[in-house]
Structure 1
Amino acid sequence: MKPSLPAPVLAAAALALALASGPAGSQPLDIRPATQPTAPKSSQQRATPLPPIRPPGLGLPRNETAEAPAPSPVVTATNDPRPAPAAKPARPSGPLSKPEAVERLNAYFNGFATLQGDFIQFAADGRRFEGKLYIQRPGKMRFEYRPPVTTEVIADGTSVAIRDKKLATQDLYSIGQTPLKFLLKERMDLAKDSTVTGVSTKGDILTVKIEDRSTLGGTSKITLNFDLAANELRQWVVIDPQGYETSVSLYNLDTQRRPDQKNFVINYERVL
């Protein structure tokens, strides 16, 4: 049996945001609800977990804390193509305005070409899934779920393939209407490419709410949680056009190591 993917949620499915709402294990993922929702929960009604708390002192200058870890050495060999890590922006002394928040996130997203790390995904019904995330901009991405989930989500720059390794099924979708363009576009401008609906700061976490009206099926509402001290994206929460909410939290991020290009290969013969 192949996964059943209603048109209104294809865009979210393309980035594995709603796919894992289906059963885990050897069964194919099916994001159709048993009954239509009466009133989808908002992100304010249900607390969305973040990854493990950032260690004390992370991101602070060494003279401000004795617990700050030593910076990793930068490889400068001529045969190493990786650029030296960019200096982290200073932590703001107060809440950021909307233009300042957009500028901070744009600088972050446009400051790396590759990213890989671990993710924790919570489906709309609260179930938890984990795995590895690989990104190479523009357009390449891979969500690799840990067992018992047998699904992989791969973008090769043109298409998004949703593949079940155990059932040997594969479905293809266009990459052009995904709700998370900030992860895949070569250059991102949140204010230009989406509608910024809200900005707030709580402690070190900057929260930016945006709406993307170009996703398939209608408008997707996206919340980005960004760690100002560590200068890292910590979490996104997507409410798809049907009203289903899925969150993805990130940790152990690495923007220096180049992912293996085999991670982004789609076998189109499976579809033919």
Structure 2
Amino acid sequence: MAFVRKLMIAAVATGIATVPGALILPGALSARTEATDLTIAQVAAVDQVSAYLSNITTLQGEFVQTAPDGNITQGQFFIEKPGRMRFEYAPPAQLQIVSDGRWVAVQDKKLKTTEKYPLITTPLKMILSDNVNLMRDAKILAVYPETELVTVSIEETTGEAPGTLTLMFDPVQNRLTRWTVTDVQGLDTTVALENTVAGQPIDPSKFRIIEHRILDVGGGNMR
């Protein structure tokens, strides 16, 4: 649980990062990267990823998370910009992560505990903002502008979870496919996004943080 609390699609990817196991909580991305440090192709690739993230209004789908020990969990995610996000793990996992635009809550449904972090203190503020600019807001370690897959690695050096966030973007389908968080010990947590749907309305209740209650795993209703 401690590792999960420290890491975050992106998020982005929200992605977005990325995510329960890919959530970075709390912390902020490090100093800006100068465009002159990158080739024209690399800058274009980073700008394409930034444009994709900026153009998201809503995004929902399924995710599959692979932990450093090889353990695989999965679930559903929902994003509505600006600032709102929800990751629900499928049973037997008992974790959900919700951002209501102001707070990010990590909730253990079994233990009925809620841990809250101000959204503005996490890198989620960038991924979930209306205007995403990785060149402006992140320190970019590496960019691989391949035809079928663009890979952008961002360094995270502050807060409780220093490490590297690597975004993988399909430029042909114009979608974020997965991200990997590497911590200071070199351990990787990867989140793959599947069956994503953009631009569709999402029930506002998905982004409400209700403390001291848990979801009914069977029916999905509050109890």
TM-score (norm. length: structure 2): 0.75
Q: Does the aligned pair in 1 maintain the 2:62–2:77 contact within 8 Å?
A: yes
For 2:189, give the aligned amino acid: T
Whole-Å Cα distance in 2 between the matches of residues 107 and 18 of structure 1? 21
Q: 1:195 to 1:98 in 2, by over 3 A?
A: same
Gaps in structure 1 of 5+ consecutive residues: 20-94
| Deviations 1:199-238 (CA, angstroms, capped at 9, x unpaired) | 114451111111134x423633111111111110001111
Q: CA deviation at 1:104?
A: 0.6
Matching residue within 40, 43, 54 for 1:110: 54
Counterpart of 2:170 in structure 1 is: 227
Whole-Å Cα distance in 2 between the matches of residues 265 and 142 of structure 1? 9
% same residue: 37
For 2:198, give the aligned amino acid: T
For 1:240, give the aligned amino acid: D
Counterpart of 2:192 in structure 1 is: 249
Q: Does the aligned pair in 2 maintain the 1:139–1:158 contact within 8 Å?
A: yes
Question: Max radius of gyration: which structure?
Answer: 1
Whole-Å Cα distance in 1 between the matches of residues 167 and 101 of structure 2? 23
Matching residue within 86, 95, 103 for 1:142: 86
Counterpart of 2:32 in structure 1 is: none
Whole-Å Cα distance in 2 between the matches of residues 129 and 11 of structure 1? 17
Whole-Å Cα distance in 1 between the matches of residues 104 and 194 of structure 2? 24
Whole-Å Cα distance in 1 between the matches of residues 147 and 21 of structure 2? 27
Gaps in structure 2 of 5+ consecutive residues: 9-17, 24-38, 214-223
Task: Tell me if 1:258 matches 2:221.
Answer: no
Counterpart of 2:7 in structure 1 is: 12
Counterpart of 1:123 in structure 2 is: 67
RMSD of Structure 2 on Structure 1 (CA): 2.5
For 1:141, give the aligned amino acid: M
Q: How many residues align?
A: 189
Whole-Å Cα distance in 2 between the matches of residues 207 and 196 of structure 1? 11
Q: Does the aligned pair in 2 maintain the 1:119–1:132 contact within 8 Å?
A: yes
Q: Which has the higher strand share?
A: 2
Q: Does the aligned pair in 2 maintain the 1:10–1:173 contact within 8 Å?
A: no
Whole-Å Cα distance in 2 between the matches of residues 127 and 234 of structure 1? 20
Task: Tell me if 1:162 matches 2:106.
Answer: yes
Counterpart of 1:174 in structure 2 is: 118
Q: Secondary structure of 1:110's match?
A: helix
After the TM superposition, list the runs of 4 or more consecutive aligned residues in structure 1 that deviate by more than 6 angstroms. Answer: none
